[in-house]
Structure 1
């Protein structure tokens, strides 16, 4: 099975939108995504299986900081390590671009995503009360210091994961 992580292209947008709609109660619109593709500080990665987009990650670079703005994997491909591979790739690319601190927001009730982020060293650093307008749910603010993680670059993947998933 051919798995690849690469920079997203405009022609990937229909699949990104399909995954977005399947993943979020309030998905980003096509107009929003087109705007993201135009912004110089935005990085959009996709993971493909046999050349079919099955997941994506959108991040924003701001000096030495990066925010993970959006991450999703198609429902039929979840639980296979593709989200972790996308996030790991984004962190590595961030390091190459001088990023030292990474932030993200996650629904308080999204335990699966929190487990993924914690597995890579993210910690809860704050809370945004009532952040999600559809439910009024709080957002947890999670952060990761890449400068501390540099002491052990293997925080991104274990040896076993690198053998089994060479794309990440």
Structure 2
């Protein structure tokens, strides 16, 4: 990852930048809107990590939620111009550490089965497939459910 990129917590002030990332990162039918992001940004058991350029521009975000011993990775999106630089990995690693420190025992996520870059990212961080959901994202767009065990204090690289 570029050492000048900062990972911190996103706020409601970042919502316009997050929505702009949605425009370039997802098809129209898959995009989250402001009403989807607001609870992620303000919920007590939520974390939205942001990757920022030195000038403060949001280059990517990842949204997490924890309920008891289970944390969920709800969303990851990185600007097209910043992909392949390790930002997605850094954002997910931040969420894994956050969830582990809060006592979560595992993290779950869903990913479209054909999204090879995302699958490579998640597998590289130790996620394994535990389930398959047929047509989850639409006709012939199946989802894989992935899980990663968490250990408090674990170094996540």
2:32 is the alignment partner of 1:32:
no
Out of 19, 22, 35, the position equivalent to 2:21 is: 19
Partner Cα distance (2:5, 2:127) in 1: 26
- DSSP 3-state at the match of 2:104: coil
User: Partner of 1:153 in structure 2?
Assistant: 154
Q: Deviations over 1:35-89 (max 9, x none)?
A: 3323322211101011111000001101111000000100000000000000111
Out of 98, 106, 123, the position equivalent to 1:101 is: 106
TM-score (structure 2 length as normaliser): 0.91
CA RMSD of aligned residues (A): 1.6
Aligned positions, number: 152
Partner Cα distance (1:42, 1:21) in 2: 22
* Unpaired stretches in structure 1, ≥5 consecutive residues: 158-168
Q: Deviations over 1:131-158 (max 9, x none)?
A: 003x5400000001114xx6x934x21x
Partner Cα distance (1:119, 1:36) in 2: 25
User: Partner of 1:140 in structure 2?
Assistant: 144
2:49 is the alignment partner of 1:48:
no
* Unpaired stretches in structure 2, ≥5 consecutive residues: none
Partner Cα distance (1:114, 1:77) in 2: 18
Following TM superposition, the consecutive aligned residue runs of length 4 or more in structure 1 with deviations greater than 3 angstroms are none
Q: Is the 8 A contact 2:11 2:42 kept in 1?
A: no
